[in-house]
Amino acid sequence: MNSGDTAWMLMSSALVLFMTPGLAFFYGGMVRAKNTLGMLMKNYVAMGLVTVTWIVVGYTLAFGTDLGGGMLGGLDYLGLKGVAIDIAKGEQAGAIHGATVPDAVIMVFQMMFAIITPALISGAIAERMKFSAWAVFIAIWSIVVYAPVAHWVWSAHGFIFEHIKAVDFAGGTVVHINAGAAALAAVLIIGPRLGFRQSPIRPHSLPLTLLGAGMLWFGWFGFNGGSSFGANALAVNAFIVTQIAAGVAGTAWLLMEQFQHGKPTTLGFASGAVAGLVAITPAAGFVGYLAAVAIGVAAGVVCYLALQIKFALNFDDALDVVAVHLVGGILGSLLTGVFSESRINPSVLDGLFFGGGSTQLIRQTIAVVVAFGFSFIISFVLLKLVDAVIGLRITEAEERRGLDISLHEEQSYALTE
């Protein structure tokens, strides 16, 4: 056990956890005042439910001994059996993950990813989904969708990692495409909010949204920097390209707004920065600084243009999870195959831009298609089941009254005191 690496990984785990409250406020500011607590709650509850599903069965399905074909982990670590630190010895060998930190540290680091991924979906179904249906959905989703995809991509014998040989440094497929595809399935099933495209549905507090975006940006240094599994040169690279892509993408988004509407907006900067963070996520351990600039520009421009998808196809992806996370995740995963450099990380081929041909790009494309297809189909079926048993949607009267009162009997902004 390396104490420096362990310190960084514990810190990174805390940073990644901090992103879920960040996401809650990023989303919470974008909904109407009457739905603020309902929005925050759908994110915060993931910190409760997925902690439980992860320790009981999620971790072992993702990182247990492969059952065959790289499809799913076995139940050897059910209930975290065998993952505990041996206090008497003062350390635990990294037998499962082969890292320089105890396996338990990687287990808890990965737990934070399992928590934020279903939380990302909540932006799509904002302002109209039942709390009970949401809780059941994300608990099951974290087991039947998240854990398998994490196994394919991040387990040593996962088929995307071992056979397709696609790379995903910190979660372009596992986190962003996965959540984005589920978000798309969710909006198709749950339908638009009352008044969608008829009356203005404006963000109630952009300061909250900017605060949340700042928390996300801060936490992302653990998300990407920690995915090196140590305090090493790769962590430094991931840390720096994360900053570059976020800053560039936020700026690129502002320029798009300036050209198209004549006014740069705070929501635009926050959205662009998050799009940049999403896009650099799969690439952070494989690309250099200038590639991060290119990825940032691409994220700012492409995700901005992708906002129009929901109007073209007429679905109410309330807070643009598809445009930012699905499109941003696909973009980043593919651009990893364009800008990857073996001099930065020997575990990857040189990308298209660095003379490695299209091999890595083709591998990345397969991973994108597989992750999208699997998540979309299973999420669709799961949501249909939850809809049949519990019902996904609150009543029209509840929706008009707002989630805060209807679902939680609380208020965000009381008139007095």
Q: Is 320 in the site for another protein (CB under 8 A)?
A: yes
Counting Cβ atoms within 10 Å, is residue 140 exposed (0-12), middle (13-18) or buried (19+)? middle
Binds another protein (CB under 8 A): choice among 11, 144, 267, 294: 267
CA dist 312 and 207 (Å) reads 29
Q: Is 415 in the site for another protein (CB under 8 A)?
A: no
Binds another protein (CB under 8 A): choice among 53, 122, 271, 412: 271
Q: Is 89 in the site for another protein (CB under 8 A)?
A: no
| Nearer to another protein (CB atom), residue 113 or residue 253 | 253
Min dist. Cβ of residue 261 to another protein (A): 5
| Nearer to another protein (CB atom), residue 260 or residue 395 | 260
| Nearer to another protein (CB atom), residue 168 or residue 320 | 320
**Stretch in the footprint of another protein (CB under 8 A) among 11-19, 216-224, 264-272, 343-351:** 264-272
Q: Is 258 in the site for another protein (CB under 8 A)?
A: no
| Nearer to another protein (CB atom), residue 81 or residue 261 | 261
| Nearer to another protein (CB atom), residue 250 or residue 282 | 250
**Stretch in the footprint of another protein (CB under 8 A) among 69-77, 164-172, 260-268, 382-390:** 260-268
Q: Is 85 in the site for another protein (CB under 8 A)?
A: no
| Nearer to another protein (CB atom), residue 103 or residue 257 | 257
- Per-residue x/- track, 164-203, another protein (CB under 8 A): ------------------------------------x-xx
Q: Is 212 in the site for another protein (CB under 8 A)?
A: no
Query: Is residue 321 a contact partner of residue 180, using CB atoms and an 8 Å limit?
Result: yes
Give the count of residues interacting with another protein (CB under 8 A): 16
Of 338, 332, 317, the closest CA to residue 368 belongs to 332
| Nearer to another protein (CB atom), residue 139 or residue 279 | 279
- Per-residue x/- track, 300-319, another protein (CB under 8 A): ----x--xx--x--------
Helices 206-225 and 233-261 cross at an angle (nearest 10°) of 150
Q: Is 257 in the site for another protein (CB under 8 A)?
A: yes
Query: Is residue 159 a contact partner of residue 312, using CB atoms and an 8 Å limit?
Result: no
| Nearer to another protein (CB atom), residue 168 or residue 257 | 257
CA dist 152 and 172 (Å) reads 13
Query: Is residue 118 a contact partner of residue 138, using CB atoms and an 8 Å limit?
Result: yes
Chain positions contacting another protein, by CB under 8 A: 200, 202-203, 257, 260-261, 263, 265, 267-268, 271, 304, 307-308, 311, 320
